Amino acid sequence: MSAQTDNSGRLLRALSLTLAAGLLGACATLPSNNPELAVLAPDESAATVDMRSHRAAEFAQATLLLGRVSLLEPIIRPFSTPKSLISLILKSSYSFAHRVSLDAGRFQALEKDPLPPIMPRAGMDLVAWEEHLDRIAGTATTGTVNFLVDGPEFFPRFIEAIDEAEESIDIRTYIFDNDNFAVSVADLLKERSAEIDVRVLLDGIGAIIGTRVDPDEISEDFTPPLEMRSYLRNGSKIKVRTSGNPFLTGDHTKTFIFDGELAFLGGMNIGREYRYEWHDLMMEVTGPVVELLQYDSDLAWAKASWLGDLSMFGRFLFPRPGRADEGGVPLRVLTTKDHDSQLYRAQLAAIRRAESFIYIQNPYFSDDAILFELARARRRGVDVRVILPNEGNHEAHNYSNQIAINTMLRHGIRVYSYPQMSHVKAAIYDGWACFGSANFDKLSLQINEELNLGTSDPGIVGELLARVFEPDFAISEELTEPRKIDWTHRIAEIVSDEIL
């Protein structure tokens, strides 16, 4: 599938098939220039038939999802479904009121005083910061972290881990695409399922996104499967579940766990744009942190069963891992759940405490509270820099990002335009780094399920700086002039703020 949004654009287009008014959104598609991905031009009539089949499958999945959300979820998840609704209402109401407050005058108040120069300082007290985090967010543990930058680094290592797994493979991803690369991964998992336990947990909305195809994906040599869940099950022993989506919330987490001892997490789903086209980041981790990732994955797997909340509560009876005694460096698991926005609290607190520099790279930047705190940080002399993609994969976010860019420039924040689609989700606040699956938007910070790691370890922070931020600053264009804004940007900002 050509470049698709991770958690918004195609999601909205797919669901609009079953909702009369439809949800806003249409993802811009980016053609591949990679010769490895070239496909033969299909016969027009055959392509039309295939596209109709895929659209029918997409419509069927969207209809089933809507029925499940409306009728089945409240029955099998009588606790978590209303909890999601209450959380959605409370968080949306608070964020709307806060955004109105910021736009009504708090941003303007910051502009009354001239911008101060950058003040070279040592940075925040990291010991005190970690003690503060113990009180407000996350679970402390230990482990090792190895950064895998872009598809050519990550996917060969991922394939190797699939080949070498001896007991189990747990795949938890938002999108398992149906393009030729994703199908090759699916075929390998199907082969391994004859020997070891293989589980694949997909998000219900992400599964619909993975059904969509572009005409250039259909050729004489390859026709995408109509539906990846069935494809994974057919002729294999793979266990496949889809997470529930109460009130269209999602599980945006990406964790791939092997034998309970090795895990990958970060921003990449399984598909050819992640393998060949986009700039992205994954982490390979070992040590006690993997037990926490496995525990979280097991809870999500249990919740996705037909027993729903009952199965999840049964899983709660197992003790949560808490070991931090097997080497590695201090790490912290940070999540977004419908009842607890650890990632949001932790990063807002980090911005407020930063004294030296803040570096952020993220494709979707629509949270006004984050923007306001970044502006405040810059006005107390902190060096604040943000990397955004030159052209993202979602038109609404592209337009909304332009408004965010103007806000940042007005407050002295340095903004860099990465020359292609960057899907990296990482930040460094003085000497503390945070990286994983979460975007800087409402869905990731408050609504969907997300998972990041945080650490103050100087080796990991230094590697993230050297392997991601420094080279990306070097090849990006620093923006100095305000972007041209019209009413379409304002509409897109509202959509991004309230829906995406």
pLDDT at 4 over 50: no
pLDDT, mean of residues 290-306: 91
What mean pLDDT, rounded, does the chain reach? 84
Q: What does the pLDDT read at residue 491?
A: 84
Query: What pLDDT is attached to residue 363?
Result: 93
What is the pLDDT at residue 214? 67
**203-261: pLDDT as tens digits:** 988 888 877 766 666 667 788 888 899 999 999 999 999 987 787 788 999 999 999 99
- Among 20-24, 30-34, 482-486, the range with the most confident prediction by mean pLDDT is 482-486
Which of 77-86, 249-258, 452-461 has the least mean pLDDT?
77-86
CA–CA gap between residue 277 and residue 218 (Å, rounded): 19
Query: Is 103-138+331-498 assigned to CATH 3.40.50.720?
Result: no
Condensed to tens digits (0 to 9), the pLDDT of residues 84-142 reads: 888 888 888 878 887 788 877 788 888 888 899 998 889 999 999 999 999 999 999 99
Prediction pTM value: 0.86
What integer is the mean pLDDT of 17-22?
32
Query: What is the average per-residue pLDDT within 426-434?
Result: 97
Note the pLDDT of residue 222. Answer: 84
**What residues contact residue 254 under an 8 Å CB cut-off, 6+ apart?**
172, 173, 174, 264, 265, 266, 267, 268, 269, 437, 451
pLDDT in tens, 414-423: 999 999 999 9
How far apart are the two ends of the chain, measured CA to CA in Å?
21
Instruction: Give the residue, 440 or 326, on which the prediction is more confident.
Output: 440
Which pLDDT band holds residue 18 (cuts at 50, 70, 90)? very low
Domain ranges of the chain: 103-138+331-498
pLDDT band at 22 (very low <50, low <70, confident <90, very high): very low
Closest CA to 436 of 281, 222, 262: 281
Q: How sure is the predictor about 143, in pLDDT bands with cuts at 50, 70 and 90?
A: very high
